[in-house]
Amino acid sequence: MSEQLRYIPGIGPKVEATLLEMGITSRFELLNYFPTRYRDYEETERIDGEKVTVIGSVFRDPRTVRLRGKQILKTQIQHNGDVLEVVVFNRNYLAAQLQVGSEVLVSGKYDEKQRKITAQEIRLVSDKGVDTLVAHYPLPPGMSKARFAKIMLAVFESIEIQNILPEYLHEKYRLIGRKDAYRLIHFPETYEDIEQARRYLKYEELFLFQLQMRMLHYMNANVAAAGDIKAFEYEQVDAFIAKLPFTLTDGQAQAVAEILNDLEQPQAMNRLLQGDVGSGKTVVGAIGLYANALAGYQGAFMAPTEILAEQHYEGLSELFADSQFQVALLTSSTPKRERKQMLAELASGLLDIIIGTHALIQDDIHFAHLGMVITDEQHRFGVEQRRVLRLKGERVDVLSMSATPIPRTMAISVFGDMDVSSIRELPSGRKQIQTELYMEEQWDFVVEQMVSELKAGRQAYVVCPLIEESEHLDVQNATELYEHLRAELPEFRIGLLHGKQKSDMKQETIDAFKDHQLDVIVSTTVIEVGVNVPNATIMIVYDADRFGLAQLHQLRGRVGRGQYQSYCYLVTKTKKERLQILAETTDGFRISEYDLFTRGPGDFFGHKQSGLPDFKVANIVEDFKILEVARDDVQQMIASRELFSSADCARLREYLDRKSLLNKGQVD
Ligand code: ADP
Ligand code: MG
């Protein structure tokens, strides 16, 4: 629905420009610009010194005066038998409206002794009665409240809004109509109105979200043709697993079984593998890649950073060392000549498994027969990037890995287009990481603790916060701390790692740390993912309260990877209750649950990293029940095929069609 806003009465080019700035490009988007709060105009008692709201009748013609550049309007109203003085500043234009006898609503500070209200607001009460609730919108300076309300009304009246959900769902949940919902969210009279409107809009939003997810899933499951079933010998896979230097945990074994089963199905796999840091997701993915290769297909493994890609490459090279399969690493620092050769080998099918960064999704990369794609830390890639990689082959099996575990029911609902495997336990024998909270004043003590570990031959990470406003400050912070520690601890070898460094320099520092050429790494969050140094036993996080819990938990996962007792010290300037949960548990699922339910998804999922849409009215935590209900309704509607055939669902089909989520073939 794109039409130029300026053709709507009351909107000129200037207002249109302001609306565009607000992200509003169409009438429908304007209607979806929802109020953030409502102002209450219910009458209050007259209490001395308080802000009061009264409705009375004008008792005396207003007088206007100017005093030291201020306009002052004075009048009197009659209220409950009393005559009250009313004073308003800088609103002299109201004088013409306030005629003796007319009903007005006055709200402002009340002075009992003088029987006077210093009003912030005076409004005429129309014949229809006063609107008791007024919507408030976040507006830029160029847009007045009054004008915006007027535009909203004009647009609402000019637009045709029909129900989109089938009638039976309206009945089932006693939902008001769609048009009413839009009317009441913008122009409510009572709180009940707002409640009804929100109830409808939340359900609609979550329902349509689920509908899209399930349809993606459904289409995915129905595109694969027979013959794409991957054939491999379980015995060979078992032999591969038997050669690992450890036995798989139950969670790993279960995930492997689910993945292998997916590979054998005629539908393309679309699976999320979630498990805590250190739960051993990589090897699960590697086993999948092995089976995929046995079946004669190529595999790609994409990681968000070079460091991580490099590490996966090392790990997988080892795992595949005595197999017949060729493994290679491709990043943006791969030399041109090598890259060229690699591309040729990929295209001819000589290379079986490629590991890399975003470099894997460049246009000139072609596979002979790509069969499986893994994205590690999937939330770090956009939906589009994941899609591009998948489209490098036909009917590719996709495994997405995430170290930010979320409760399974939520994962299923939120990532409705994916199946979910969860690894809940860590490999046995891991020592619990001891986590302690310290105030900044205790910094010297924290450093002492570190020094005693360093003296015992261990290594340490010191992490500085990401400063959102400025990447520059970030680097500066880390650099300062680095210099400070170097001056203080000359007997130890300290390295610095931050995002502004060239990648080979970063790699050098990390390699040096791995080889124990360095005792300490001071770093910004670049080390959050990927570094695996079992000898490192200390993780110090400076200004820990600037991190989300999930992120801190991930950082902590950098230690405790070897045989030694490890420690995590969280240092803050002020005491932060929420960090306590980290001291209490190392179970990532519990931490994420806590984070989700105390702070909401924004904080938990980080900044638009989760691949979740921005919900306008709904909140996936608070409204999780509605999400589940909507999911079931959608599933039922697909299973019964009503979605494709019933007249009641025609509008939903149009909606899906607009989103290209409906094959004509699906309509009966
Ligand atoms: P993550 O899930 O964080 O990606 P990794 O795959 O990096 O975890 O595994 C962390 C470490 O645990 C690796 O060194 C890996 O070799 C090791 N590991 C994986 N599975 C097991 C297991 N079942 N028993 C012991 N160690 C394991
Ligand atoms: Mg990993």
Q: What is the mean pLDDT of residues 77-85?
A: 91
Q: Which residue lies with its CA nearest to atom 9 of ligand 1? A: 280
- Atom index in ligand 1 nearest the CA of residue 429 equals 25
- 422-432 average pLDDT score: 82
| pLDDT score for 614 | 64
Mutate to test the pocket of ligand 1, among 244, 283, 554 (most ligand atoms within 8 A of CB): 283
Spacing, Cα 116 to ligand 2 middle (Å): 68
User: What string of DSSP letters covers 555-578?
Assistant: HHTTSS-SSS--EEEEEESS--GG
Euclidean distance between CA atoms 525 and 510, whole angstroms: 13
Instruction: Tell me 191's DSSP state.
Output: H
DSSP 351: -
Mean pLDDT is lowest, of 183-192, 242-251, 329-338, 593-602, for 593-602
Which pair of structure tokens corresponds to residue 518?
């360095």
* pLDDT tens, position by position, 306-356: 888 998 999 999 999 989 999 999 998 899 999 999 999 999 999 999 999
pLDDT of residue 470: 54
Which stretches of 349-470 are DSSP H helices?
Answer: 383-390, 408-414, 443-455
Cα dihedral 199, 205, 210, 211 sign: positive
Question: Are the CB atoms for 427 and 401 separated by under 8 Å?
Answer: no
| pLDDT of the residue at 182 | 97
The answer to whether residues 389 and 362 touch, using CB atoms and an 8 Å cutoff, is no
pLDDT at position 278: 80
CA-nearest of 311, 562, 308, 583 to 457 is: 562
Q: pLDDT at residue 607 above 70?
A: no
Residue 515 has pLDDT above 90, yes or no: yes
Dist. CA 120–CA 133, nearest whole Å: 16
Run of H or E residues at 119:
strand 116-124
Instruction: Locate 408 and state its tokens.
Output: 């399974």
Q: Residue 283 Cα, ligand 1 centroid: separation in angstroms?
A: 7
Question: Which atom of ligand 1 is nearest the CA belonging to 275?
Answer: 2
Mean pLDDT of 152-166: 93
Nearest CA to ligand 1 atom 15: 280
Instruction: Kindly identify the ligand whose nearest atom is closest to the C-alpha of 376.
Output: 2
* Atom 10, ligand 1: residue with shortest CA distance: 278
Place of tokens 């619990």: 432
CA of 592 to the centre of ligand 1 (A): 21
* Positions of E strands within 408-498: 419-423, 434-439, 459-463, 494-497
Rounded to whole angstroms, the Cα distance separating 464 from 498 reads 10
* Residue 551 pLDDT level (bands cut at 50, 70, 90): confident
CATH topology of domain 234-423: Rossmann fold (3.40.50)
Distance 21 CA to ligand 2 centre (A): 40
Rounded to the nearest angstrom, the distance between the alpha carbon of 449 and the centre of ligand 2 is 28
pLDDT given at position 132: 63
* pLDDT beyond 70 at 168: yes
Q: Is the CATH number of domain 434-585 3.40.50.300?
A: yes
Least confidently predicted of 312-316, 363-367, 453-457, 601-605: 601-605
The model's pLDDT over 122-145, given as tens digits with 9 standing for 90+, comes to 888 765 555 567 888 988 888 888
In degrees rounded to 5, what are phi and psi of residue 618?
Answer: -80, 155
Atom of ligand 1 nearest to the CA of 284: 6
Mutate to test the pocket of ligand 1, among 240, 247, 256, 279 (most ligand atoms within 8 A of CB): 279
Nearest CA to ligand 1 atom 16: 280
Q: Is pLDDT larger for residue 288 or for residue 159?
A: 288
Strands 70-79 and 37-40: unpaired
> pLDDT at position 152, please?
93
Please give the number of the atom of ligand 1 that sits closest to the Cα of 311: 7
In this structure, which ligand is nearest to the CA of 283? 1
Closest residue CA from atom 25 of ligand 1 = 427
Average pLDDT value for residue range 404-426: 75
Pocket test for ligand 1, best of 272, 281, 282 (most atoms within 8 A of CB): 282
Protein residues whose CB sits closer than 6 Å to any atom of ligand 1: 246, 248-249, 252, 275, 277-283, 403, 427, 532
More confident residue, 3 or 425: 425
Expressed in angstroms and rounded, the spacing between residue 312 Cα and the centre of ligand 2 is 8
Atom of ligand 1 nearest to the CA of 248: 23
pTM of the predicted structure, to 2 decimals: 0.62
At residue 179, the pLDDT reads 96
Q: In whole numbers, what is the pLDDT of the chain averaged over residues? A: 85
Tell me, what's the pLDDT at 243? 95
Specify the fold of 44-130: OB fold (Dihydrolipoamide Acetyltransferase, E2P) (2.40.50)
Report the separation in Å between the CA atom of 588 and the middle of ligand 2, taken as the mean of its atom positions: 14
pLDDT band of residue 668 (cuts 50, 70, 90) is very low
Residues in the chain: 668
CA of 277 from ligand 1 middle (Å) equals 9
Q: What is the model's pLDDT at position 466? A: 61
Q: Give the Å distance between the CA of 545 and the centre of ligand 2.
A: 24
Q: How confident is the model at residue 610 (pLDDT cuts 50, 70, 90)?
A: very low
Measured CA to CA in angstroms, residue 233 lies from 264, 273, 372, 478 at distances of: 11, 23, 17, 51
> Quick one: pLDDT at residue 599?
57
Biggest CA-to-CA distance, the chain: 98
Please tell me the distance between residue 380's alpha carbon and the centre of ligand 2 in angstroms.
13
- Ligand 2 centroid to 32 CA: how many Å? 40
CA 500/CA 497 separation, integer angstroms: 9
Residues in a beta bridge with 423: 275
Report which bound ligand comes closest to the CA of 532: 1
Task: State residue 521's pLDDT score.
Answer: 94
Nearest-angstrom CA–CA distance, 167 and 153: 27
Identify the band that residue 384 occupies on the pLDDT scale cut at 50, 70 and 90: low
Closest Cα to atom 18, ligand 1: which residue?
A: 280
Matching CATH topology for 44-130 and 434-585?
no
Spatial contact of 545 and 409, defined as CB atoms under 8 Å apart = no
Q: What phi-psi label fits residue 69: left (phi over 0), alpha (psi between -120 and 50 degrees) or beta?
A: left
| CA–CA separation, 550 and 476 (whole Å) | 25
Q: From ligand 2's centre to the CA of 278, what distance in Å?
A: 7
State percent of the chain over pLDDT 70.
87
Cα 465 to averaged position of ligand 1 atoms, centre (Å): 27
Ligand 1 atom with least separation from CA of 282 = 6
Q: Which of 246, 276, 301 to mutate to test the pocket of ligand 1 (most atoms within 8 A of CB)?
A: 246
Residue 284 confidence (pLDDT) above 60: yes
6-22, pLDDT tens digit by residue? 777 778 888 888 998 88
C-alpha–C-alpha distance, residues 582 and 570, integer Å: 9
The structural domains of the chain, with segments of one domain joined by +, span 1-41+143-159, 44-130, 161-223+624-668, 234-423, 434-585
**Strand, helix or coil for residue 614:** coil
* 298-307, 437-446, 536-545, 551-560: least confident range: 551-560
CA of 532 to the centre of ligand 1 (A): 10
Most confident of 203-212, 255-264, 272-281, 426-435: 255-264
Ligand nearest to the CA of 287: 1
Helix (H) or strand (E) holding 357: none
Q: Which residue has the higher pLDDT, 450 or 268?
A: 450
For residues 633-650, average pLDDT: 93
User: Pairing between strand 434-439 and 494-497?
Assistant: unpaired
Question: In this predicted model, what pLDDT tens digit does every residue of 213-232 receive, in sequence order?
Answer: 788 777 666 654 333 689 99
Whether 513 and 527 have beta carbons less than 8 Å apart is answered as no
- How far apart are the CA of 170 and the centre of ligand 2, in A? 45
Ligand number nearest CA of 285 is 1
Give the ligand with the smallest distance to the CA of 251.
Answer: 1
Ligand closest to CA 423:
1
Contact 463, 541 (CB under 8 A): yes
